[in-house]
Homo-oligomer: A and B are copies of this chain.
Amino acid sequence: MFAIAPAVGKANLSASQLKLLAGKARWIFRVGETGFPTIPTIAITRGAWEALQAERARKDTRLRTHWIACLFKLVGEDAKPPTLVVRTSASHHNGGLMPAKTGISAPASPEDSVDPSRPLAKAIKNAFDSYGFGQAWSGPRQDDDRSRQIVLVQTAASGELEQFLTRNAVTGALGPAPVDGSALPRLPEDIHALVSLLDAKAGRHMTCLVAIQRGQVQFVSARGIQATPAAELEAAVDRVSRKVWSAQNAVSRVDPARMAQLLHPRLRSTENAAPIAIGLGVAPGAASGIIVFNPEDAARLRARGKHCILVVNETGPADIEGMKAATGILTARGGMSSHAGVIARITGKPCVAGVRNLSVDATEMVARIGDREFRSGDRLTIDGSDGHVYAGVLPLAQPHIGGAIGKLLGWSDASRTIEVRTNAETVESARTALSFGAEGIGLARSEHMFFSPERMVALRRMILSEDEDDRARAVDGLVGFQTGDYSDLFSTMKGLPVTVRLFDPPLHEFLPRTDEDIEETAQSLGLAVRALRLRLERIAEINPMLGHRGVRLAITYPEILQMQMQAVIAGVRAATETQDKPVEFEVMVPFVSTVSEVAWVRDKVNTIIANSGVLRSGKVKFSFGTMIELPRACLRAGEIAPLVDFFSFGTNDLTQTTFGISRDDAPTFLAAYQRKGIYERDPFVSIDEKGVGELIAMAIARGRATNPGLKIGICGEHAGDPASLRFFAGLGIDYVSCSPYRVPVARLTLAQALA
């Protein structure tokens, strides 16, 4: 217990006392120290309070004497015992805390100051007790160190109490700004000094309480508040322009996860669409997807890469996993501060809440909006910015980078040494990624080049044909199809590196499944349907994730490798003809587990490239690398490294095999696992540092030991997750490759990690 703002003189806190200052206590002390008029305040820790109570049982008075001495420091120059106020001072504010207890008479006796049945001690006890509560859904409590929790005892202020924000909660402009849409009170000119002072000291949006008497301001307390991500970002950039922060400060203080929320899609146009319902837009961004009624279905669809909208009456703690898995959330009840709203904003999901004419029957899995019925599989679009709900899928416009976010990312690039590339195989996504600052393509999934009906037919003919000529014709056709794709991709990237991953997925994903497809394919192959079915049955796999895929395909179907290389080389050649910059293309082999696989493919690739003569022009740079995405590849990295120019870690498959978990099938138990505390976090979202992370670190160390020039990249989904990126940065990697929309997140996080 110590006076952080005595009525007379300075606080003179020791270093260890300074360390204890959390929450409001911190700001009261720091404002008071500058000489700005501040309400006399004592801070008492739970540890001190409990020791004081324990002393009473021992009939000791040492601590009580000290406590009373502290209380005397609230007495001003007029020597009158002040009326007191007791406040909490939590390091993280939440709804369960005791509101300020005002109007407490100064203790008349020593016992008044410590007996919990008397007003002052009772208020202090209640304040400490209130730290135990709080909404369970706000996550694990941060105040683990109970004994350091603080309660404040203040002199009651004279005059009017007024509240305002240090910055506008939506625009981020420097305040004073109104709280919560209420009008801004009339405040004396002095207030600007306090606002600037607090904004500089705290470096975040604050809500501030002052007492005003006869135009004189007295500071009472302040605490941080959560502004919108846009407001935070604008404020950060504004602080730099005001020279309160350096650019580096701004880069290090913006939370990448919150910045990511600015990268939300919005509806492209609503001209031809009428909303079927209007609720409250409680978390910004627009989302379209399949309707789901429970967290399991949301997780299942997400695992399959599908967008979905979780539709419920209201959400509760059991829905958090489902909300994370959903693309958007729609609720019938609740408002801005509802569970759904809070969690949606934390997780960055668009959310429309409080749709009055929506009713959900989760058991029957039907949602009614007015007189329309929606069932699982139907589609909805929601706009979390204005609360509108539309039937079906509306086209979305993607965000772009500019203004404050552009400035911040620009600064961040100065302190970043790890390259940020993107996962893209279409010109459209490559352009998006470039607009977000991508420095190359780290993962072009070549199989995406076959995702059209016409190409699929040719691919099937190549796989299933047993006639050499027919197969050769199919191969030629496939080369032709892809050449243009590659040429466009290289041209779009204008000399930035493009890493093409060889064909990876299990073959049977490309084979006909429906009766109609099978009949059509049989006809095109001149095969009996029965014979084709037999052949397809043989190709079917029990565990395709661990089956005939990746490098295994290149080795067993060398014609696929040949065809892919031919198309890439033709694409490179075409691109060099339309641009001056050299084309930088990289080929990487997926799913290797032995050095012999890498050696086999490398020989073939090198031969094909040498025969093509494509490198002779001097306008082409080529390198060869391998994915490291199986535990054995990590263990044997020392053997593999001398054969390649780079390793690219596929953290999705590496997580699947290290844990023995198929991500597709995990939803059936992952939710239960997180509920029961078996997993602290979903290892497919944030990298498992202790297991998968150790394998990656081992592979890097072993690989660099035998090939010091080895380039290291990460191209799993973890490359877009801030926590994972911080871990990767510590491993000394050279680049990451993430989805286009995560490029800004990676730029900022990596700048912070290396600052």
Contacts and interface: CB of A to CB of B under 8 A. Distances in A.
Interface in A229-255: none
A546 B547 contact: no
A524 B690 CA distance: 46
A664 B542 contact: yes
A266 B653 CA distance: 46
Contacts of A669: 548, 552, 555-556
A542 B539 contact: no
Nearest to A670: B552
B660 A591 contact: yes
A7 interface: no
Contacts of A665: 541-544, 546-548
Contacts of A635: 658, 690-691, 694-695
A648 B543 CA distance: 24
A597 B672 CA distance: 12
A528 interface: no
Contacts of A596: 677-679
A260 to B, nearest CB: 28
Given A546-B661, A547-B662, A596-B679, 10 more contacts: A542-B662, A543-B665, A544-B662, A546-B665, A596-B677, A597-B678, A600-B676, A629-B660, A631-B660, A632-B658
B691 A632 contact: yes
Interface string A521-548: 0000000000000000011011111111
A668 B659 CA distance: 25
Contacts of A666: 547
A688 B543 contact: no
Contacts of A672: 555-556
7 contacts: A539-B668, A547-B666, A552-B669, A555-B672, A632-B660, A635-B691, A657-B658
Interface of A: 296, 300, 538-539, 541-548, 552, 555-556, 591, 593-594, 596-597, 600, 629-632, 635-636, 653, 656-662, 664-666, 668-669, 672-673, 676-679, 688, 690-692, 694-695
A662 B657 CA distance: 11
A662 B541 contact: yes
A518 to B, nearest CB: 20
Q: By CB atoms of chain B within 10 A, which of A544, A594, A664 has the most?
A: A594
A657 B631 contact: yes
Contact of A545 (B543, B597, B658, B677): B543
Q: How many copies does the complex hold?
A: 2
B668 A548 contact: yes
A665 B540 CA distance: 9
Nearest to A694: B635
A361 to B, nearest CB: 16
A339 to B, nearest CB: 25
A676 B541 contact: no
A155 to B, nearest CB: 50
A591 B669 CA distance: 14
A299 to B, nearest CB: 12
Q: By CB atoms of chain B within 10 A, which of A653, A666, A688, A691 has the most?
A: A691
A551 to B, nearest CB: 9
A543 B541 CA distance: 9
Nearest to A597: B678
A659 B541 CA distance: 17
A300 B679 CA distance: 36
B594 A679 contact: yes
Q: By CB atoms of chain B within 10 A, which of A546, A630, A688, A694 has the most?
A: A546
Contacts of A630: 658-660
Contact of A678 (B555, B679, B691): B555
Nearest to A661: B546
Given A548-B665, A600-B678, A665-B543, A631 B593 contact: no
B691 A543 contact: no
A690 B668 CA distance: 35
A695 B657 CA distance: 14
B593 A660 contact: yes
A664 B541 CA distance: 8
A665 B631 CA distance: 19
Nearest to A304: B542
B546 A593 contact: no
B661 A593 contact: yes
B676 A658 contact: no
A493 to B, nearest CB: 30
A630 B632 CA distance: 12
Contact of A659 (B539, B593, B600, B673): B593
A676 B601 CA distance: 12
A687 to B, nearest CB: 12
B673 A658 contact: no
Contacts of A695: 631, 635
A662 B546 contact: yes
Contacts of A632: 658-660, 688, 691-692
Contacts of A539: 668
Nearest to A688: B632
A503 to B, nearest CB: 14
Contact of A555 (B556, B593, B673): B673
A559 to B, nearest CB: 14
A659 B545 CA distance: 12
A138 to B, nearest CB: 23
A365 to B, nearest CB: 10
B678 A547 contact: no
A672 B694 CA distance: 33
Contacts of A656: 546
Contacts of A664: 541-543
Nearest to A639: B690
